Structure 1
Amino acid sequence: MRPLLAALLVSTALPAAANDGFGGLSSTGLTFSQTDAVAMLQEDLFISVDKVSVDYVFKNTTATDVTGEVIFPLPPVSVWASWESMMNLPEDLTKPDLVDFRALVDGKPVQVTIDRIAVIEPPYDETRPVSEQYDSPGRDVTADLERLGLPITLDAGSLRTALLALPPEKQAEAKAAGLADFYEGDPAQNIPEDATASWSIVTRYHWTQTFPAGAEVKVHHEYVNRPAGGIFYWSEPPEDYQTYLVNQYCIDAGTSKALMKALSRTDETGETAAYGTAFNIDYVLRTANSWAGPVGKFRLTLDKGDSRNVISLCADGVKKTGPTTFVIEKTNYTPDKDLAVLLVMPMTD
């Protein structure tokens, strides 16, 4: 049973988030690029289990106006996982905005464009950096879906209906392209025909922004955090299969003991075990490197939500600033790795 609990934390993986990146529009859609003209002077990032907000100060360091796309991407969301209700997603999957994204520029709301592409992700590899999901999320199959008349949506009901409505030759084409599998069913056993989709959806929020020559521009955005979550089990000392958690989140001896203290419960038989709920919060920091130079002043505030919760991450300079808050501050910061936070909550009665 214990390995299954560990696997649940993997199978419920959700969209991570990323710093805003700089890019442009091309004939093939959005592209990320590098700018040497606009610097990120400040980044003030707040992350909790429910909300993410960030305030940037950018400066155009040249004597010429610079215009480009400010891009905020989500990594791929598996259609199959949403089909099985395995992801922390909104109830209404027909709406394009999964996280209620809002942006302000110099205090004024901006109209954000949302686009979606469909991809076939590479096989799961727990050693693959999260940021690679943005650089190369997978094989783009958007045109294949459009040719077959299949909707780019996470709504399982409409997808199943659309797949089953395809004529046999198009079902065969979809199967050959690795887009879907089809099942004939067995009327004698009261088993209906069925179909499952194999692609994932990448959602990107973006808007065209002009950075005036020599001027500063303040950008704020916020959205609902929907981190991965699942049942969590811990033991002291950690068992072999928990090694990846120790390494990924830098769980030291003190944190391990804190987990045991927070999670240990004795059931009616007198058996004691350490169970709880965990959220795996990922945030891609390295997209900040698409701007000119390092981040001048960087501040990250983490709020674990309740003093009984336990938080662990791999980072230097973490300071506790309140019963539930922790702060990391850096100057001239060039992110060389992305943020991975483990937030563990005791079971509630």
Structure 2
Amino acid sequence: MNAALRLAPLLLALFAAPALANDTMAELKTGGLTFVRTPEVEMTSEALFISPEEIRVDYVFTNTSQKDVSGLVAFPMPDIGGDPYANVAMGDFETDNYLAFTASQDGKTVAVNLQQRAYASDIDVTEDLKASGVPLLPFATATKDALKKLPEHVAADWIARGLIFIDTYDNDGNGMKDYRTPLWSLKSVYWWRTTFPAGKEVKVQHRYKPSVGGTVGISFLEEGAAKGERYEDYVKRYCIEENIVRRAQQSEQDMQAGKSYLFENWISYILTTGANWSGPIKDFSLTIDKGAPENVVSFCGEGIKKTGPTTFEMKAKDFTPANEIDILLLKPSTAQ
């Protein structure tokens, strides 16, 4: 097991490319959803499963008041875009539901709404994109096609404002060409209206394919040594220890020798929105599946137990999430 069993008590500080989040309550205001805290409904239990192939979340909510509580249940999705060179596996690039998100409540499928907003330099540019007929999803083929058709004066304005930039590369073997490339980030939130009956439990389930970030080889060593700003960030984010460093150093030597080497994958989960319900999560469990026995996994946590060839589990009572879950996977190149 390569998971570090240290950090704050009863707390996971587990990064990656775009992350998924706990349910939260929200208000629909001008400009979109605003997350709010509800004092009447508690998250009685949460069972969270994270793997490179699937994320599953099973909640039990309890309305502890003497009256029904109605409102919006919101599920923030990972931010997409903002880094033109990011290597991100994201499911179907051509659909708004790019991670195949599904939800159910008390065993019945929920018809969810989707709010999407685009941001460049923390400024909402959604209406700019829509007015020019540019789809919001940065990586979609339709988005690239629409950017090609932008009038020159609009493109110049967007470059100056940080919405797009000009990237130059050989895309088809016919020489270097300039391409208008998105720089904005897409923020998406699924939501639906529901009622929590007074004094009763409500079961909510989510299923989706995670967004998995990655890079070729190892990125947290500096000239083969465990030093530098990125290494320090990995120590804090993933709790990497000496055994991980040794595997990474050996991997760099193997790459130079033309042998199979390790490459990085990252998965993140936004856990802190679970603190928007009344009180702590009464019964919390987390299962992380590294996907294959030969994969190496590192993350931070307290009381983690290995439960199988690829699985690790943490359980906690009266759990108040204060940090997100960041998982580092090192996978052999032959296992891509």
TM-score, normalization by structure 2: 0.82
Residues 100 and 224, structure 1, Cα contact 8 Å, conserved in 2? yes
Residues 268 and 327, structure 2, Cα contact 8 Å, conserved in 1? yes
- The answer as to 2:203 corresponding to 1:218 is yes
**SS across alignment from 1:220:** strand
1:253 corresponding residue in structure 2: 242
2:7 corresponding residue in structure 1: none
**CA distance in structure 1 between the partners assigned to 2:300 and 2:215 by the alignment:** 21
Describe the shift of the 1:145–1:207 C-alpha distance in structure 2 as closer, same or farther (beyond 3 A).
same
Describe the shift of the 1:117–1:319 C-alpha distance in structure 2 as closer, same or farther (beyond 3 A).
same
Runs of at least 4 residues of structure 1 off by over 6 A?
A: 234-237
2:301 corresponding residue in structure 1: 315
Spell out, residue by residue over 1:221-249, the C-alpha distance to the aligned partner (whole angstroms, 9 max, x if none).
Answer: 11012211122338798421333323321
Describe the shift of the 1:173–1:266 C-alpha distance in structure 2 as closer, same or farther (beyond 3 A).
closer
AA at the equivalent of 2:116: R
Aligned pair partner of 1:154 in 117, 135, 138:
138
**SS across alignment from 1:301:** strand
Alignment of 1:91-130 (within 5 A): 92-121=92-121
Residues 51 and 222, structure 1, Cα contact 8 Å, conserved in 2? yes
* CA-CA distance at 1:14 after TM superposition: 2.6
Aligned pair partner of 1:207 in 185, 192, 212:
192
Residues 254 and 261, structure 2, Cα contact 8 Å, conserved in 1? no
* CA-CA distance at 1:205 after TM superposition: 1.3
Describe the shift of the 1:145–1:20 C-alpha distance in structure 2 as closer, same or farther (beyond 3 A).
same
Structure 2 residue ranges without an equivalent (≥5): 1-14, 169-173
2:274 corresponding residue in structure 1: 288
**Greater relative contact order (Cα 8 A, min sep 6): structure 1 or 2?**
2
* CA-CA distance at 1:173 after TM superposition: 3.8
Alignment of 1:168-187 (within 5 A): 168-181=152-165
Residues 47 and 57, structure 2, Cα contact 8 Å, conserved in 1? yes
Describe the shift of the 1:175–1:228 C-alpha distance in structure 2 as closer, same or farther (beyond 3 A).
closer
Aligned pair partner of 1:244 in 228, 233, 253:
233
1:126 corresponding residue in structure 2: none
1:336 corresponding residue in structure 2: 322
1:23 corresponding residue in structure 2: 26
Describe the shift of the 1:164–1:256 C-alpha distance in structure 2 as closer, same or farther (beyond 3 A).
closer
AA at the equivalent of 2:309: P
Residues 226 and 245, structure 2, Cα contact 8 Å, conserved in 1? no
**CA distance in structure 2 between the partners assigned to 1:263 and 1:108 by the alignment:** 47
2:8 corresponding residue in structure 1: none
Describe the shift of the 1:192–1:253 C-alpha distance in structure 2 as closer, same or farther (beyond 3 A).
closer
Aligned pair partner of 1:42 in 45, 64, 68:
45
Spell out, residue by residue over 1:121-172, the C-alpha distance to the aligned partner (whole angstroms, 9 max, x if none).
Answer: 4xxxxxxxxxxxxxxxx32111222333433233554334333433344334
Structure 1 residue ranges without an equivalent (≥5): 1-11, 122-137
* CA-CA distance at 1:290 after TM superposition: 0.7
* CA-CA distance at 1:220 after TM superposition: 0.7
**CA distance in structure 2 between the partners assigned to 1:69 and 1:120 by the alignment:** 27
Residues 42 and 298, structure 1, Cα contact 8 Å, conserved in 2? yes
Residues 89 and 211, structure 2, Cα contact 8 Å, conserved in 1? yes
**CA distance in structure 2 between the partners assigned to 1:260 and 1:144 by the alignment:** 44
Larger mean CA deviation between 64-73 and 296-305 belongs to 64-73
AA at the equivalent of 1:240: K
TM-score, normalization by structure 1: 0.79
AA at the equivalent of 2:89: N
Aligned pair partner of 1:198 in 183, 206, 219:
183
Residues 25 and 276, structure 2, Cα contact 8 Å, conserved in 1? yes
**CA distance in structure 2 between the partners assigned to 1:150 and 1:159 by the alignment:** 6
* CA-CA distance at 1:324 after TM superposition: 1.4
Residues 235 and 274, structure 1, Cα contact 8 Å, conserved in 2? no
Residues 309 and 345, structure 1, Cα contact 8 Å, conserved in 2? yes
* CA-CA distance at 1:36 after TM superposition: 0.4
Spell out, residue by residue over 1:56-77, the C-alpha distance to the aligned partner (whole angstroms, 9 max, x if none).
Answer: 0000111111111111112321
AA at the equivalent of 1:114: L
**SS across alignment from 1:98:** coil
2:290 corresponding residue in structure 1: 304
More helix by proportion, 1 or 2?
A: 1
AA at the equivalent of 1:152: L
AA at the equivalent of 2:41: V
1:227 corresponding residue in structure 2: 212
AA at the equivalent of 1:110: V
AA at the equivalent of 2:240: I
**CA distance in structure 1 between the partners assigned to 2:191 and 2:103 by the alignment:** 10
Residues 118 and 141, structure 1, Cα contact 8 Å, conserved in 2? yes
Residues 276 and 344, structure 1, Cα contact 8 Å, conserved in 2? yes
Alignment identity in percent?
Answer: 36
